[in-house]
Chain A
Amino acid sequence: MMACLLEAPLRISVLSEVTATSRHYVDRLFDPDPQNVLQGVIDMKNAVIGNNKQKANLIVLGAVPRLLYLLQQSSSSLELRTECAVVLGSLAMGTENNIKSLVDCHIIPALLQGLLCSDLIFIEACLRCLRTVFISPVTPVQLLYTDPTVIPHLMSLLSRSRHTKEYITQIFAHCCKTPEHQTVLFNHSAIQNIAPLLISPSDKVRMQALKCFSVLAYENTQVSMTLVNVLVDGEQLSQVFVRMMQRDKPIEMQLTAAKCLTYMCRAGAIRTDDNCIILKTLPCLVRMCSKERLLEERVEGAETLAYLMEPDVELQRIASFTDHLVSMLADYFKYPSSVSAITDIKRLDHDLKHAHELRQAAFKLYASLGSNDEDIRKKITETENMMDRIVSGLSESSIKVRLAAVRCLHSLSRSVQQLRTSFHDHAVWKPLMKLLQNAPDEVLVMASSTLCNLLLEFSPSKEPILDSGVIELLCSLTQSDSPALRVNGIWALMNMAFQADQKVKVEIVRALGTEQLFRLLSDPDTNVLMKTLGLLRNLLSTRPHIDQIMSSHGKQIMQAVTLILEGEHSIEVKEQTLCILANIADGNTAKELIMTNDDMLQKIKYYMGHSNVKLQLAATFCISNLIWNEEDGSQERQDKLKDMGFVDILHKLTQASDPNLCDRAKTAMQQYLA
């Protein structure tokens, strides 16, 4: 404490001294003699190199506006203007705050203006400074695109020198963040201009050009399709990328080239069974996941690989056995390791920073790996502590990790075997339910989708989930604005209602409410409608359940059915509705709801004569249920339907070409004969 007190005045005096010298530099910028100004700028340049304190001082003291003024003055000598650009570039190399101040002083338009000058040295100095400003995360990327003449001018400067190539490509690589940016650059023939740089003798230029292509091609079909047809020195671009993935090339180059090919493949420009994907890109990305790589590289490698193989089961299979990938990924969860905590604090900090990223990347890759193949899922769940990791991942603070974990869980939940075993053993439903309580939509979609699978009839987790008040939760999901959430909510309810107890069914109907049910039946999303009908069908299964539900909600349900049958819907929807009707016809008392409804009977008759066999079959099924012999009052119903002309139709249907329909009609006819 004493030491601090003693030191404090000393520090202040040092600081004031520094400020004084800084002021001296700034003052010299205002010297009337241009030669003195130039010397002042040069001295300033030498003073700020590598000195962040000095940079901050000069900015505070207002050097930037003066430098910009000197830079823009056409009366200043070219040498002075160049030196000003160099000093500004040097200031930009400092902290993020420096960049902010520079941007606030409108350095970008000034420098862009400077590019119009004809002197190459000056242009290079401006570009270097622009590059430094633009690669900072605090600079708004949009500033590059505000003036529409900037991009074409940069394209024209591209070939001027090695430095212009490097700086401009680097600016593009950092400032292409949205599809709009991609389009702008594409329309100014970025591809044709940058492609030759891929074989530039300079490593830096090649690297930046490669990065440009990776950002241009990302999720962009237009660019990707163009890229495959580009020739560089008579060689296809994909082959150039393959060469850049050779193992003796810098890791960054290998990784970025692999990204380019991945994006081109995902955009459909390269087939997934192409050798450059299957034998080059995939192994390269797997290598990027290995322990020898830096944490950042491992994250990027895993994410890119996950993206590459997401839609293709063959790639998933190959990746699953390449270089022990599945167990290699288990290492992603070991950060920060106990070793890193001991060795040094810097390492611990570094590991901590990347730990989340690593985990989410690993979950993503697992999700992608296991999305189709049962054997791979088994391999994943058998990895050490895998289920525990997912479970703890579900409740991590980072949303990214939670999302990735639930994606992984979802992917694994497609396996019947895993649902029955590891999912139950690890009670994954618990954190999943917790996650569903309060999470952003994207997490909710995945989580509810997983829940759908967990609620499948054979899943042992179904019971405990039911007991945890899931019905209310799902019902609230069906009221969401997001169609995906509504589908998942109603889907889960449908799965839940399948062969469920009376109690559960009643509870679902009560919680959902008929009003909501009707709303869902008129949902614009067909998927929602289909699942709602599916729910109704599952609710109206065994006879006592049918009667009970129909006695309380019969009127509304019949209304809804009429509405759908009359409306403009797809065959699948109508078929599903007719199946519901058939279920209703199976009830004891519920039958009467149809029998007393002549309008409905007419509709059934209509569908029996429909051109679509599926609809005919469903309608016939319904009639068959109505005239079933062993039930009370069957005679009367038979008579009534006979009067309405159903027998003739049935007779006709016995001649139908479809064997199912034919059988069904015959069975129905037998009811009359008995």
Chain B
Amino acid sequence: MEPRQESVIPASGRDYRSSSQDSMSSVTQRWTVWNCAALLCQTSARILVWLLGLLYFSSLPLGIYLLIMQNTTMGVLMVSLVPVSLLIVMVWQAVGIDGRNQIAMSGPSSGCGFLMSVVVHGDLALSEQEKELNQRLRSLYPAVNEQETPLPRSWSPKDKFSYIGLSQNNLRVHYKGHGKTPKDAASVRATHPIPAACGVYYFEVKIISKGRDGYMGIGLSAQGVNMNRLPGWDKHSYGYHGDDGHSFCSSGTGQPYGPTFTTGDVIGCCVNLINNTCFYTKNGHSLGIAFTDLPSNLYPTVGLQTPGEVVDANFGQHPFVFDIEDYMREWRTKIQAQIDRFPIGEREGEWQAMIQKMVASYLVHHSYCATAEAFAKSTDQAVHEELASIKNRQKIQKLVLSGRMGEAIETTQQLYPSLLERNSDLLFMLKVRQFIEMVNGTDSEVRCLGGRSPKSQDSYPGSPRLFNSPVHKASSSQTYQTSTYYIHKIFFLPAWVKKHLTKMILQKSGLLHQKKNFYTEVEMEVDHFSNGVSESSSNGFLNGSSTHGIDLEELDSAQSKRQLCGGSQAAIERMIQFGRELQSMSEHLRRERGKNSANKKMLKDAFSLLAYSDPWNSPVGYQLDSIQREPVCSTLNSAILETHNLPKQPPLALAVGQAAQCLSLMARTGSGSCAFASVDDYLH
């Protein structure tokens, strides 16, 4: 709708905006008087709520306490207060509703009975809706990192003009000004701007009531745009108005755009962050492009102008009327076709050679020697590391992953004499791990004490097959990586990420599928670099871990049988002794090289295991999980490689990490196409 400037500008010809001041003050005045009564009721209601809440929440624990202390009478009395207080609330609500209708209308002061009932009964429905919202947003915008750029989920109670009222979890917007002239227009923005990583963003607004004149505007605006206006009237503000169906592109005069809209209509607004355009929908029908060359970081915005206008937003709380997934599918296809058709021109041969090199280096890095050899042979490449060296690394890694740390350290010292001497932090880390493995009962030292042969079946799930010969790898039993493994891994990582390393490390896993049969499967983990700094890495060596899930189950069932250090008294003594050695090593390190908070924490966490009768089920029990061997293993592997002047990261992992990093950089700089170019899609 047009601002209808001619009717607005007073005879004196003063500026539009300044003239709005005087009329506003009178409105505020009236408001205050009207609000006073409401405020009074509101305060009394709140005090009552607090009292009841206090009674309600304190009576139960107090009652239980009294019951335990065998003060039965008082205990029963206190415990029974819970239902009694509830009953009071309900009765009060039933009585209060009639008299309180008017207050309930004014939004936040809705009766306390209502409030309580929401707390008691509404919780379930609320979380249900919340869950649906989260689920829908995740599936629509998988590329969005909500830690960095949260998605809009409701209207902002802070970022609105005073004539706007919010209710129903800040999703319903109603007009509460007097709506005489366009000066009385009022808008509200969503809590967050639209993240570029959405690629395509969509929200819908349902017109609950068109009010007096139906001067409603739905659109987008940047932070800081005047809220005393309808969307579209100002710079960096865009809107589609219901009364005339015009679109307003940062201007007081609209362009004919679509049909008008009114009570019952559902208007959708779709922002395409790839080509920076926007289109609207009405009742599920696309109306065509409304705006082009949109700036970034726009907020969903609605504006109302006359009394009685009420609109509801749907940021994903409910299914959308318009089939936005279909539209996104089109753009995903477009972007992926663009990537697929990326011209490499004359350099096709170079590309192939490069890719082969990357694959070979990856295989060597992770010491898949037989596979690497076969691959190098069939692709005519030279391996830059001696076979013996690869085999040595393989041996060490195998020991680490099977939890035989003592042997691993010994072998490392044997094969790379100066490595651990020079790198005392690494040695400390290995030793701490050894301590943990001792607790676990898997380390070779405690094993022999426990009467078990060190060569016996190790407990690392899936590890027996880790370094199988290539022939075995191709066997049908080791089919594709199952998705359960990913779920498992993703599930596990955050705990480790938070507790073990202070810097954020995000792992991405992928499966590289090669043509040749005998190296069918190579599984890799990819480091994610935050802030462009490459942090400590972790490389997985889970090859053909299709049996992983089953192993876990076995582990779980065996849990009850697990005993400290394998149950041997001698082993426990050895472990405690080793712990002392570790403690002194830590002190020694501190004296020599100053404080190291990472080391300190590592040791503390490891020692904490002894504080629990069942370390496996303790809060620090995650350390005992075999998956924690992986980072240790990869750190050791990288260190060994570094001594040979080889990269501590395989180029393949580096490239994948770089691609992922590029995507997040794109998200930050506002190129929406990153939404449809997930690295994972290409690794499968």
| Chain A 588-643 residues near chain B, CB threshold 8 A | none
Give A279 to B284 CA distance when docked, in angstroms.
7
Contact yes or no, A321 B287, CB < 8 A: yes
Contact yes or no, A322 B329, CB < 8 A: no
A279 with B333, Cβ < 8 A, contacts A321-B282, A321-B285 known: no
Contact yes or no, B288 A324, CB < 8 A: yes
What residues of A have a CB within 8 angstroms of the CB of B284 in the complex?
279
Contact yes or no, B286 A283, CB < 8 A: yes
Contact yes or no, A248 B330, CB < 8 A: yes
A384 to chain B, nearest CB (A): 13
From B285, B327, B333, contact of A322 by CB (8 A): B285
| Chain A 256-281 residues near chain B, CB threshold 8 A | 279-280
* B326 interface hit (Cβ, 8 Å): yes
Q: Considering only CB atoms, which chain B residue lies closest to A324 in the complex?
A: B288
Contact yes or no, B329 A247, CB < 8 A: yes
From B259, B282, B289, B333, contact of A248 by CB (8 A): B333
A286 to chain B, nearest CB (A): 8
What residues of A have a CB within 8 angstroms of the CB of B323 in the complex?
279-280
What residues of B have a CB within 8 angstroms of the CB of A74 in the complex?
none
B309 to chain A, nearest CB (A): 22
Contact yes or no, A318 B285, CB < 8 A: yes
Q: Considering only CB atoms, which chain A residue lies closest to B327 in the complex?
A: A247
Q: Mark A279-323, 1 if CB is under 8 A from B, else 0.
A: 110110000000000000000000000000000000000100111
Contact yes or no, B287 A322, CB < 8 A: yes
Q: Considering only CB atoms, which chain B residue lies closest to A327 in the complex?
A: B288
What residues of A have a CB within 8 angstroms of the CB of B329 in the complex?
246-248
**Interface SS majority for chain A:** helix
B279 to chain A, nearest CB (A): 8
Give A280 to B333 CA distance when docked, in angstroms.
19
What residues of B have a CB within 8 angstroms of the CB of A322 in the complex?
285-288
Q: Considering only CB atoms, which chain A residue lies closest to B279 in the complex?
A: A323
Q: Mark B629-647, 1 if CB is under 8 A from A, else 0.
A: 0000000000000000000
| Chain B 305-359 residues near chain A, CB threshold 8 A | 323, 326-327, 329-330, 332-333
* B113 interface hit (Cβ, 8 Å): no
What residues of B have a CB within 8 angstroms of the CB of A247 in the complex?
326-327, 329-330, 333
| Chain A 230-271 residues near chain B, CB threshold 8 A | 246-248
Give A29 to B327 CA distance when docked, in angstroms.
58
* B579 interface hit (Cβ, 8 Å): no
B260 to chain A, nearest CB (A): 10
Chain B, interface size: which category? 10 to 19
Give A323 to B333 CA distance when docked, in angstroms.
21
| Chain B 152-171 residues near chain A, CB threshold 8 A | none
Contact yes or no, B332 A283, CB < 8 A: no
Contact yes or no, A246 B326, CB < 8 A: yes
Give A283 to B284 CA distance when docked, in angstroms.
10
Interface-centre pick from A246, A282, A328 (highest chain B CB count, 10 A): A246
Contact yes or no, A283 B285, CB < 8 A: yes
* B303 interface hit (Cβ, 8 Å): no
Give A283 to B289 CA distance when docked, in angstroms.
14
* B177 interface hit (Cβ, 8 Å): no
A521 to chain B, nearest CB (A): 49
Q: Considering only CB atoms, which chain A residue lies closest to B322 in the complex?
A: A279
Interface-centre pick from B289, B326, B330, B333 (highest chain A CB count, 10 A): B326
Q: Considering only CB atoms, which chain B residue lies closest to A375 in the complex?
A: B259
* B258 interface hit (Cβ, 8 Å): yes
B439 to chain A, nearest CB (A): 53
B330 to chain A, nearest CB (A): 3
What residues of A have a CB within 8 angstroms of the CB of B258 in the complex?
321
Give A322 to B332 CA distance when docked, in angstroms.
22
Contact yes or no, B288 A248, CB < 8 A: no
What residues of B have a CB within 8 angstroms of the CB of A323 in the complex?
286-288
What residues of A have a CB within 8 angstroms of the CB of B326 in the complex?
246-247
B76 to chain A, nearest CB (A): 59
B35 to chain A, nearest CB (A): 43
What residues of B have a CB within 8 angstroms of the CB of A321 in the complex?
258-259, 282, 285, 287
Give A481 to B259 CA distance when docked, in angstroms.
46
Give A283 to B258 CA distance when docked, in angstroms.
15
Q: Mark A320-337, 1 if CB is under 8 A from B, else 0.
A: 011110001000000000
Q: Considering only CB atoms, which chain B residue lies closest to A322 in the complex?
A: B285
B255 to chain A, nearest CB (A): 11
What residues of B have a CB within 8 angstroms of the CB of A318 in the complex?
285
Q: Considering only CB atoms, which chain A residue lies closest to B287 in the complex?
A: A321
Give A153 to B288 CA distance when docked, in angstroms.
50
Q: Considering only CB atoms, which chain A residue lies closest to B336 in the complex?
A: A248
Q: Considering only CB atoms, which chain B residue lies closest to A286 in the complex?
A: B286
What residues of B have a CB within 8 angstroms of the CB of A324 in the complex?
287-289
What residues of A have a CB within 8 angstroms of the CB of B259 in the complex?
321
Give A459 to B314 CA distance when docked, in angstroms.
50
Give A323 to B284 CA distance when docked, in angstroms.
12
Q: Considering only CB atoms, which chain B residue lies closest to A320 in the complex?
A: B259
Give A322 to B323 CA distance when docked, in angstroms.
14
Give A608 to B258 CA distance when docked, in angstroms.
57
A655 to chain B, nearest CB (A): 52
Give A321 to B285 CA distance when docked, in angstroms.
8
B274 to chain A, nearest CB (A): 14
A621 to chain B, nearest CB (A): 47
Q: Considering only CB atoms, which chain A residue lies closest to B331 in the complex?
A: A247
What residues of A have a CB within 8 angstroms of the CB of B285 in the complex?
279, 282-283, 318, 321-322
Q: Mark B179-197, 1 if CB is under 8 A from A, else 0.
A: 0000000000000000000
Given contact pairs A321-B287, A323-B287, a sample of 9 additional A-B residue pairs in the complex whose CB atoms are under 8 Å apart: A247-B326, A247-B327, A247-B330, A247-B333, A279-B285, A321-B259, A322-B285, A324-B288, A328-B288
14 pairs of residues in contact across A and B, judged by CB atoms under 8 Å: A246-B329, A247-B326, A247-B327, A247-B329, A248-B329, A248-B330, A248-B332, A280-B323, A282-B285, A321-B287, A322-B288, A323-B287, A324-B288, A328-B288
Which residues of B pack against A, CB within 8 Å?
258-259, 282, 284-289, 323, 326-327, 329-330, 332-333
The 9 closest A-B pairs by CB, nearest first: A247-B330, A324-B288, A323-B288, A248-B333, A248-B329, A321-B259, A247-B326, A322-B285, A247-B329
